[in-house]
Amino acid sequence: MGPTEFEVKDNSLTVTEEAKRSFEEDGCIIVRGLLSDLELHKVRKTTEDPGILKHQYGRPDKRGKEPKLVLWQHPGNDVTGMVARSKKVAETCQKLLGGEIYHYHTKLITKEPYIGGTFEWHQDYGYWYKYGCLFPDMMTVFVALDDCTRENGCLQVLKASHKCGRIDHTIVGDQTGADIERVQEILKVCDHVYAELKAGDALFFHSNVLHTSSDNCSANERRALVIAYNKASNDPGPHQKHPGYTHLDMVENSAILNCENVTDFTGKEFWAKQPQV
């Protein structure tokens, strides 16, 4: 069975006890309709701006096919920043993690038709650990900007695998991948879920959930905003690569539609490609 599903109603997301329990038990929940069609249109327009795309780089998988990424450290004041700062995203993570959170980074991930590559099995905490975060009190929100299907490389998760704790990771291709023999064993006991999402839906998942995604074998682009949060109490020490605690200025959900800034990316701090750890 797939993750429990919730939905945004009247542009608001209520984090119920059931949502908290599902997140705790399964390590992930699906939120349908996180972004409305109008919001989605604005977010896509922003992510298509050359001011963002000039920072794009590839991260080849072990067969040399590459998904493409743009990474920024701070949300900023453009439409994508409003998404990361909106209550329906950020406050939801705060409630799921049970304490103040801050923006750790956001990625725009693109799998181009036919050539977009795989992400190997990994846990986000597999490498955030190496960036100095002492606790896995961290999570990710995968927001589909296009329909994400098996054919174009939707996210796949091993439900409840966050309960295995952090697994050893090594370099696979130009990526960081989890110990594959261990993953093969975990595959025998955890449900392997293909998180097929409509554009605007999202998967909220814990930093120790094992996940992967296949290459894009279709004619349809697969883009996603992948927003990471850390708990304020989990400020990384001297090994940090992504920001230490920085107050997150949350905004009402209406700020996404009200935001007219689709071109000024001041303050986001785009990342140049870094070697894997």
Residues that bind ligand AKG (CB under 6 A): 107, 109, 119, 124, 155, 211, 213, 224, 226
- C-alpha distances in Å from residue 24, one per residue of 16, 28, 74: 12, 8, 27
Q: What are the φ/ψ torsions at residue 114 (nearest 5 degrees)?
A: 65, -30
CA 91 to chain centre: 15
Q: Is 125 helix (H, G, I), strand (E, B) or coil?
A: helix
The number of residues in the chain equals 277
Q: What's the min distance (Å) between Cβ of 154 and ligand AKG?
A: 8
CA distance 127 to 166: 10
Query: Closest approach of Cβ 119 to ligand AKG, in Å?
Result: 4
CB of 227 to ligand AKG, least distance (A): 10
Give 6 or 119: the residue with its C-beta nearer to ligand AKG. 119
CB of 165 to ligand AKG, least distance (A): 18
DSSP one-letter string for 189-257: TS-EEEE-B-TT-EEEEETT--EEE----SSS-EEEEEEEEEEGGG---TT-SS--------B-THHHH
Would you say 82 or 145 has its CB closer to ligand AKG? Answer: 145
Among residues 107 and 231, whose Cβ is nearest to ligand AKG? 107
* Both tokens assigned to 229: 């949060």
Minimum CB distance to ligand AKG smaller for 111 or for 231: 111
Helix, strand, or coil (residue 60): coil
Pairing type for strands 5-7 and 28-32 reads: parallel
When the beta carbons of 20 and 241 are compared against ligand AKG, the nearer one is 241
- 8 or 203: whose CB is closer to ligand AKG? 203
Q: Nearest distance from residue 258's CB to ligand AKG, in Å? A: 28
Residue of this chain nearest to ligand AKG (CB atom): 213
Q: Which of 115, 194, 139, 191 is nearest to 20 (CA)?
A: 139
Structure-block tokens of residue 39: 């919001």
Q: Which is nearer to ligand AKG, 172 or 255 (CB)?
A: 172
Locate 45 and state its tokens: 């327009």
Q: Compute the least distance from the CB of residue 222 to ligand AKG, in Å.
A: 8
Question: In angstroms, what is the minimal distance from the CB of 39 to ligand AKG?
Answer: 20
